[in-house]
């Protein structure tokens, strides 16, 4: 499982939110700092890019086609890769300090997205839930919201605060969308990488990208560190399962944070890497409205 290869040499400033589309055999991801949504087709290796007017932090595919996405100014839907944006929710936070970051849908089709608070002098990063035209604030105790994922049975929600090196779990009611009983799941020591975006496999293991840690960590549902896998970039940002058997782990990375000397050593930083695993991931849930 050390077969790590670059599949999209995107040279993205800040590649995030890799998302597998099993219906079309393609991988989507964003470049937050470049205001871009990317689509990479595995059928013909075609790489398409859509440019926006502001940062796109995360997105999910919609049930029936199209996207829901969280931008700095709020949440929008669009019916195709190049479709017109339709406002779903306009941000009620200070957009000069806050923007959306990591997110995904729960198994019932609600869209969850977290914000990052750039000054990092208060825990103002929030985790929002969007469903049926309504917005709910589930948590507001982070500097930078990341690592959102769900256990295979949907009863546990994972959520990390990257700058503080900690991953939390919540009890999650998939019927009502309520998150409760927040507790610490895993904490990484300072100085060796911070938990960023994540995904869960069918066995319930939590896979997290360690930003500034040059590796991916696999953590058991009980909170035990099972394995770590090196990545040819210092700043991996998020992982996603994909491929025909859902046994490929796609890894997004950041280029902008590397120094010139580091880029000599890691020339494909900012790309999307892939690693073959012996465990399958979960299919990504789609937004139901």
**Count of all residues that appear for the chain in the document:** 289
Q: What is the mean pLDDT of residues 240-263?
A: 97
What percent of the chain has pLDDT above 90?
Answer: 96
Beta bridge partners of 147: none
Catalytic residue set: 196
What tens digit of pLDDT does each residue of 115-158 get? 999 998 888 899 999 999 999 999 998 899 999 999 999 999 99
288 neighbors 68 (Cβ within 8 angstroms): no
* H/E element, 265: helix 260-265
From 187, 221, 188, 189, select the one nearest 207 (Cα to Cα).
221
- Residue 20 pLDDT exceeds 50: yes
pLDDT confidence bin for 2, thresholds 50/70/90 = low
pLDDT confidence bin for 114, thresholds 50/70/90 = very high
- Residue 230 pLDDT exceeds 70: yes
Complete domains list, the chain, with CATH: 4-276 (2.120.10.30)
- In sign, the C-alpha dihedral spanning 236, 240, 243, 246 is positive
- Tokens (6 digits) for 68: 């829901």
Q: What is the mean pLDDT of residues 224-232?
A: 97
């Amino acid at each position: 499982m050390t077969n790590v290869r670059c599949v999209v040499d995107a040279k993205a400033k800040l590649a995030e939110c890799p998302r597998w589309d099993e219906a079309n055999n393609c991988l989507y991801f964003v470049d937050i700092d470049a205001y871009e949504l990317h689509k990479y087709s595995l059928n013909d290796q075609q790489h398409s890019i859509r440019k926006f007017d502001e940062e796109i932090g995360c997105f999910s595919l919609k049930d029936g086609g199209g996207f829901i996405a969280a931008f700095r100014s709020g949440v929008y839907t669009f019916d195709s890769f190049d479709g017109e944006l339709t406002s779903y929710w306009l941000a009620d936070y200070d957009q000069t300090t806050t923007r959306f970051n990591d997110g995904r849908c729960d198994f019932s089709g609600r869209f969850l997205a977290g914000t990052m608070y750039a000054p990092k002098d208060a825990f103002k990063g929030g985790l929002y839930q969007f469903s049926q035209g309504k917005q709910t604030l589930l948590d507001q105790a982070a500097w930078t919201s990341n690592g959102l994922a769900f256990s295979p049975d949907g009863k546990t929600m994972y959520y990390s605060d990257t700058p503080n090196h900690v991953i939390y779990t919540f009890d999650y009611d998939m019927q009502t969308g309520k998150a409760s009983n927040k507790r610490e799941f895993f904490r990484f020591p300072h100085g060796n990488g911070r938990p960023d975006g994540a995904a869960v496999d069918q066995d319930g293991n939590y896979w997290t990208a360690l930003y500034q840690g040059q590796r991916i960590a696999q953590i058991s549902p009980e909170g035990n560190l099972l394995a770590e896998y090196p990545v040819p970039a210092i700043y991996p940002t998020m992982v996603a399962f994909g491929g025909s058997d859902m046994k490929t782990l796609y890894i997004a990375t950041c280029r902008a944070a590397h120094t010139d000397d580091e880029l000599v050593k890691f020339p494909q930083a900012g790309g999307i890497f892939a690693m073959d695993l012996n465990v399958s991931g979960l299919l990504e849930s789609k937004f139901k409205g």
